Structure 1
Amino acid sequence: MTQLHIESLGHGPDLVLLHGWAMHSGIWSGVQDQLARQFRLHLVDLPGHGLSPMSEPGTLEHWVGIITEILPERCMLGGWSLGGQIAMELALREPQRVQKLILISTTPCFAKNEDWESGMERKLLQLFLENLKLNYATTINRFLTLQMSGDCSASKILSQLRKHFFQRDEPNPAALEKGLNILQQSDLRDRIAAIQQPVLLLHGENDVITHPAAADWMHRQLPQSRRVMFAHCGHAPFLSYPEQFVTCLNEFRIHA
């Protein structure tokens, strides 16, 4: 069994948070102390990211299976971007354990298709994949910059992202490739209506990685969902609006 790195802190109902592609659980450092006042917080490093070892075969199903093993018996589960896609799979697979679902800058289908205009261009995803093998550092830097596109505090938040990224070992290159493959291939649109838990959708209105229209679409498919759109915000609302982000999670804990 792969031993994932998990940092647990605080007291209260269990809240598990999953980070996005190429990052690690240190990305939550700006909100973790506030959240730990209301929750028993579990910050997970995905396989091959941060302090967690890589695990083959590295498919979405495999990563979901690994994380299932460490989920509390009853919890709120939140995921950012790639972490949100994993969280949706976990909510579908473990409805008794995942009591509430928080999807941060998440989409049911990351890549653009003929019947899905709210995704990222496939050629751009493929370019990231190819460039990873040629120039890892430049590719990561471009991705971090893209996350802040359209954010009113772009330079400050980008500095935070870069700082967080280099706080731990660089992600395993194989894990980055596997993660991009998941993003290219995963499509949960046909299954999302089966999610029965209360869902909180948090999204930046200027997100160019996961289009805001994807959050609008999920909101329509999930009658038990609440959608919050952060103004002048890119791909990381918990960095751009940390206090509002924490407030949203606390209200969701109490009222959903």
Structure 2
Amino acid sequence: MSYEIKQDGKFKFIEEGEGEPLLLLHGLFGALSNFKDLIEYFSRSYKVIVPMLPLLEMDLLHTSVGGLQKFVQKFVEHRKYNNIHLLGNSLGGHVALVYILKHPEKIKTLTLTGSSGLFENGMGDTYPKRGDKEYIRKKTELTFYDPAMATDELVNEVFEITNNRIKVIKIIALAKSAIRNNLGDELKEIKQPTCLIWGNNDGITPPFVAEEFHKLIPNSELHFIDKCGHAPMMEVPQEFNKVLETFLASHKKELPVV
């Protein structure tokens, strides 16, 4: 199922359904398609919003976790969202963490899956020579427990990005920014209910990272999914949606008794 990409000012985004806002932030090599199963499922009872993060469109000075957080801040203000259920995968989780620490009054719940912010394995010690598609395929496969999830379409998307010199420079800038921006000392300040949904076979942000988030974020719950890598909402959408639905339902606005 494809969704209409809306434009409001400089912002491009998907917005489907009605109800409390559920705002989704994708990762470094992520795209709106990463959330297609989640959008379809949750737009029945929530207003599901997926902004297109300008990962490779910002000037180099602002190509950072902080720069992305400011973009999300401006998007939320422009669209006048409040009481947001915020969810982030990978780098999107990191951006969500920085946002909630700066604007806690806007956020009702937080969900992280495969989030950076404490530790992550990047593309590796070496960066690919441009044009090395087989290298890109192998690295893309490492995102998942099942390498077949790295479809030709997905590999081609990543290959196109890494075959552009300026885009590669910006990817490296974002990856370095994520490593520098360690949030370990600040996570205790997060008061909102937080759901951690992690792949038991995540090789990029391994399970011990989820356990550390769980220890540091006071009001958090942790769920591991077996046979699942770095992007549970793509690889095991049914299990992911079930965990998320239970968590969100327990914090949904209760209607007054008439």
**What is the TM-score when the length of structure 2 is the normalising length?**
0.81
Listed one character per residue, the Cα deviations across residues 68-110 of structure 1 (whole Å, up to 9, x for unaligned) are 1112222111100111111100110110111111101114323
Matched, 1:92 2:79: no
Q: Any residues of structure 2 matched to 1:39-188 within 5 Å, and which?
A: 39-48=46-55, 53-57=57-61, 58-71=63-76, 72-110=81-119, 119-120=120-121, 125-128=124-127, 131=128, 134-135=130-131, 137-138=133-134, 140-148=136-144, 151=145, 154-159=146-151, 162-164=152-154, 170-171=160-161, 172-188=167-183
1:216 maps to amino acid = E
DSSP 3-state at the match of 1:21: coil
Q: Identify if the C-alpha distance between structure 1 residues 208 and 167 changes in structure 2 by more than 3 Å, giving closer, same or farther.
A: closer
Match of 2:201 in 1: 206
DSSP 3-state at the match of 2:142: helix
Q: How many residues align?
A: 233
Match of 1:115 in 2: none
Task: Decide which of 35, 42, 54 is 1:28's aligned counterpart.
Answer: 35
Q: Identify if the C-alpha distance between structure 1 residues 137 and 178 changes in structure 2 by more than 3 Å, giving closer, same or farther.
A: farther
**Deviation (angstroms), 1:175:** 3.4
Once superposed, what is the RMSD of the aligned Cα atoms? 2.4
**Deviation (angstroms), 1:193:** 0.8
Separation (CA, whole Å) in 1 of partners of 2:250 and 2:236:
21
Task: Decide which of 227, 231, 239 is 2:226's aligned counterpart.
Answer: 231
**Deviation (angstroms), 1:4:** 3.6
Q: Identify if the C-alpha distance between structure 1 residues 3 and 216 changes in structure 2 by more than 3 Å, giving closer, same or farther.
A: same
Compare CA radii of gyration and give the structure with the larger one. Answer: 2
Listed one character per residue, the Cα deviations across residues 6-60 of structure 1 (whole Å, up to 9, x for unaligned) are 11111111011111112212211132111111210111222135xxx33442122
Q: Does the Cα contact within 8 Å between 1:125 and 1:184 map onto a contact in 2?
A: no
2:224 maps to amino acid = M
1:210 maps to amino acid = T
Separation (CA, whole Å) in 2 of partners of 1:236 and 1:33:
17
**Deviation (angstroms), 1:139:** 5.0
Q: Any gaps of 5 or more consecutive residues in structure 2?
A: 1-8, 162-166, 252-258
Listed one character per residue, the Cα deviations across residues 174-206 of structure 1 (whole Å, up to 9, x for unaligned) are 432332222332211111111111100010011
Separation (CA, whole Å) in 1 of partners of 2:111 and 2:216:
15
Match of 1:116 in 2: none
Matched, 1:38 2:83: no
DSSP 3-state at the match of 1:34: helix
Separation (CA, whole Å) in 2 of partners of 1:42 and 1:139:
33
Structure 1 stretch 186-195 or stretch 24-33: which is displaced more?
Answer: 24-33
Q: Does the Cα contact within 8 Å between 2:14 and 2:50 map onto a contact in 1?
A: yes
